[in-house]
Amino acid sequence: MKKLKSILFPVLTVLLVTALALTGCQKKADGAAGGTASSANVQMIEGANVPRNETIILENPGGRANPPDYFNRWNGWNTSFMGGLQQLGLDSLWFIDPDAGIDGVWENALASEHPIYNKDFTEMTIKLREGIYWSDGVQFTADDLIYTIEIQMKNPGMDYTSRFNAYVDRIQKISDFEVKIFLKQPNSRFHANFLVRWNACFMMPKHIFEKVEDVTTYKFNPPVTLGPYTLKDFDPQGNWYLWEKRPDYQRTTLARMGDVGAAPKYAMYINGGTSDVKVMSAQAHQLDVIHDMAVEGVIRLTKANKSFKTWFPGFPWGHPDPTLVACILNLEKPGLNNKDVRWALALALDINRLAIASYRGAMTISPIPVPPTGMYPEYYHTPLQQWLSDYTLDLGDGTTFKPYNSNAAVEIAAKARDDLGDIVPTDPTAIKRYMGEGWWKYDVNAAAKLMQKAGLRKNSRGVWEFNDGKPFKMVFMGQTDNEPSQNRAAAMVVECWKEFGIDITLDVRSDFGTLAGTGDFDGEFYWNIETWGGHPDLSFFLDSFHSNQYRGIGENAARNVSRWKNKRMDEIIEACQKLDMDDPQVVEYGKEWIKLAVDEMFEIAVCSYNVFTVMDDTYWTGYPSIDDPYTDPVPNWTNSRYMFAKLRSTGK
Tens digits of residue pLDDT in 75-130 = 999 999 999 999 999 999 999 999 999 999 999 999 999 999 999 999 999 999 99
Higher pLDDT, 512 or 61: 61
User: Within 10 A of 26 (CB to CB), how many other CB atoms are there?
Assistant: 12
pLDDT digits (tens, 9 = 90+) for 238-260: 999 999 999 999 999 999 999 99
Q: What is the mean pLDDT of residues 299-304?
A: 94
pLDDT on residue 47 = 57
Question: Facing residues of 456 across strands?
Answer: 466
pLDDT digits (tens, 9 = 90+) for 474-510: 999 999 887 889 999 999 999 999 999 999 999 999 8
Selecting from 3.60.70.12, 3.90.1170.40, 3.50.50.60, 3.90.76.10, what CATH number does the domain 94-206 have? Answer: 3.90.76.10
**CA distances in angstroms from 137 to 225, 227, 251, listed in the order given:** 10, 12, 10
CA distance 135 to 145: 17
Residue 609 banded pLDDT, cuts 50, 70, 90? very high
CA distance 263 to 258: 9
Q: What is the mean pLDDT of residues 45-65?
A: 86
The domain made up of 319-611 is a member of CATH 3.10.105.10: yes
Which residues, including other chains, have CB under 8 Å from residue 84's CB and lie 6 or more apart? 58, 60, 229, 231, 241, 243, 267, 269
Q: Say whether pLDDT at 29 is over 80.
A: no
Could you please state the CATH topology (level 3) that the domain comprising 47-90+212-316+613-649 is classified under.
Answer: D-Maltodextrin-Binding Protein; domain 2 (3.40.190)
142 three-class SS: helix
Provide the residue ranges of all domains of the chain, joining segments of one domain with +: 47-90+212-316+613-649, 94-206, 319-611
Q: Does residue 99 contact residue 632 with C-beta atoms inside 8 Å? A: yes
pLDDT on residue 70 = 98
CA distance 105 to 534: 6
Q: Say whether pLDDT at 28 is over 70.
A: no
Question: Facing residues of 529 across strands?
Answer: 324
pLDDT on residue 8 = 41
Q: Which secondary structure element, helix H or strand E, spans residue 57, and what is its range?
A: strand 55-59
CA distance 323 to 541: 10
Residue 23 banded pLDDT, cuts 50, 70, 90? very low
User: Within 10 A of 247 (CB to CB), how many other CB atoms are there?
Assistant: 9
pLDDT on residue 211 = 97
Beta sheet of 195-196, edge-to-edge order: 106-108, 94-96, 195-196
Q: What is the mean pLDDT of residues 169-181?
A: 98
pLDDT on residue 237 = 94
pLDDT on residue 374 = 87
Candidates 261, 263, 234; CA nearest to 247 is 261
pLDDT on residue 490 = 97
User: Within 10 A of 488 (CB to CB), how many other CB atoms are there?
Assistant: 21
pLDDT on residue 405 = 98
Q: Does residue 344 contact residue 415 with C-beta atoms inside 8 Å? A: no
Q: Which secondary structure element, helix H or strand E, spans residue 269, and what is its range?
A: strand 266-270
Question: Facing residues of 59 across strands?
Answer: 270
pLDDT on residue 446 = 98
* Averaged pLDDT score across all residues of the chain: 91
pLDDT on residue 21 = 30
Q: Say whether pLDDT at 22 is over 80.
A: no
Residue 433 banded pLDDT, cuts 50, 70, 90? very high
Which residues, including other chains, have CB under 8 Å from residue 251's CB and lie 6 or more apart? 131, 132, 133
pLDDT digits (tens, 9 = 90+) for 380-390: 999 999 999 99
pLDDT digits (tens, 9 = 90+) for 87-96: 999 999 999 9
pLDDT on residue 307 = 97
